[in-house]
Amino acid sequence: MRTLKLLMVSVLLVAAPASFTGCVGPRTTEAVVFDSFKTTYNAAYSAYTGWLELVVTGRASKADEARVDAAWNEFRAGFSLSFQAASNDWSAATPEKIQLLSEQLIRLIHSL
């Protein structure tokens, strides 16, 4: 029974960092080609909410916070315009520029 408990704790400790940060890693070129507005937004939003957890717990500097917020705002502004141009269709293909902004945001968050 003790061995089973230790095994469970070990599994939780290994899985915890990925679960609690909520960050999504940069994706392969093949995976990005068929992104819809929904998948593009969800990837960026997931990375950003993971970043916000670091900010709230005080593990991010003010300078880094400003850089990520600027990248998030740039992504959101571009995403909103493109999404409206696509008639608010979540399943429409995301323009390459918006995919690039999403990837830049995710890479910035992962670099900090």
The answer to whether residue 22 is domain-embedded is: no
The mean per-residue pLDDT over the stretch 5-16 comes to 45
The pLDDT value given to residue 40: 95
The pLDDT value given to residue 112: 87
The pLDDT value given to residue 33: 57
State how many domains the chain has.
1
| Boundaries of domain holding 108 | 35-112
Number of neighbours of residue 99 by Cβ within 10 angstroms: 19
User: What mean pLDDT is reported for the chain?
Assistant: 81
The pLDDT value given to residue 31: 58
The answer to whether residue 69 is domain-embedded is: yes
| Model confidence pLDDT, tens digit, residues 19-45 | 444 555 665 655 555 689 999 999 999
Q: Is 90 exceeded by the pLDDT of residue 101?
A: yes
The answer to whether residue 19 is domain-embedded is: no
The answer to whether residue 91 is domain-embedded is: yes
